[in-house]
C-alpha cells in the first residue's frame, strides 16, 4: 500500500541522501514523496523520482513536515541529519524530531536506519 514519506537532508548529507534515494528508486517510487525545498530539488533533478518540494528547511520546510506529522498525513520521515554542523534553524530541527517521536512516526536518520525503514517499516 502506498505510504507518504518525507525526505530531508542537511547540506553536508545531501549527497548521501540523493545517492540513497537513487539506489532505492524502485522502492521509493511506489510511495508519495515529499521533501524540504533544496533536498527535493536535488532529488527531482538527480533521480528518476518525483517528490513534492516544500519550503526550504530553514525557511519553514521542517515546520511544514512537522505539521504533516501532527495532522496524521505522514507515515515516515527519512532525515539525514548533519551531526557535525551547528544549524541556525536548530529549533525547527528539534521540533520536527520531537513531533516524529511524539506521534510514533517511522524515523530514519542515516543510511542504516533508512534501509531498515524501507525493508520492514513500510511493509503493510
Ligand X SMILES: O=C(CO)COP(=O)(O)O
Counting contacts by CB under 6 A, is residue 36 touching ligand X? yes
CB 32 within 8 A of CB 5: yes
Is 62 an active-site residue? yes
Question: What is the distance, to the nearest Å, from the Cα of residue 92 to the centroid of all Cα atoms in its chain?
Answer: 14
From the list 16-24, 37-45, 70-78, 103-111, the region that binds ligand X by CB under 6 A is 37-45
Q: How far is the CB of 117 from ligand X (least distance, A)?
A: 18
> Smallest gap, in angstroms, from Cβ of residue 77 to ligand X?
11
Contact 62, 108 (CB under 8 A): no
Q: CB-hemisphere CA count at 13 Å for 114?
A: 24
What span, in angstroms and rounded, lies between the C-alpha atoms of 33 and 21? 11
Q: Is 64 in the site for ligand X (CB under 6 A)?
A: no
CB of 19 to ligand X, least distance (A): 15
> Which cell numbers in the block locate residue 24?
532505492
Which residues lie near ligand X (CB under 6 A)? 8, 10, 36-39, 56-58, 61-62, 93
Amino acid at each position: 500500500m502506498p505510504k507518504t514519506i518525507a525526505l530531508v537532508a542537511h547540506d553536508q548529507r545531501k549527497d548521501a541522501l540523493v545517492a540513497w534515494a537513487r539506489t532505492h528508486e524502485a522502492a521509493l517510487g511506489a510511495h508519495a514523496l515529499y521533501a524540504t525545498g533544496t533536498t527535493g530539488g536535488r532529488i527531482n533533478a538527480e533521480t528518476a523520482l518525483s517528490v513534492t518540494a516544500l519550503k526550504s528547511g530553514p525557511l519553514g520546510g521542517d515546520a511544514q513536515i512537522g505539521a504533516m506529522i501532527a495532522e496524521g498525513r505522514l507515515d515516515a520521515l527519512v532525515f539525514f541529519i548533519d551531526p557535525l554542523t551547528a544549524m541556525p534553524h536548530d529549533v525547527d530541527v528539534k521540533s520536527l524530531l520531537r513531533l516524529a517521536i511524539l506521534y510514533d512516526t517511522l524515523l530514519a536518520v542515516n543510511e542504516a536506519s533508512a534501509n531498515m525503514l524501507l525493508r520492514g517499516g513500510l511493509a503493510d
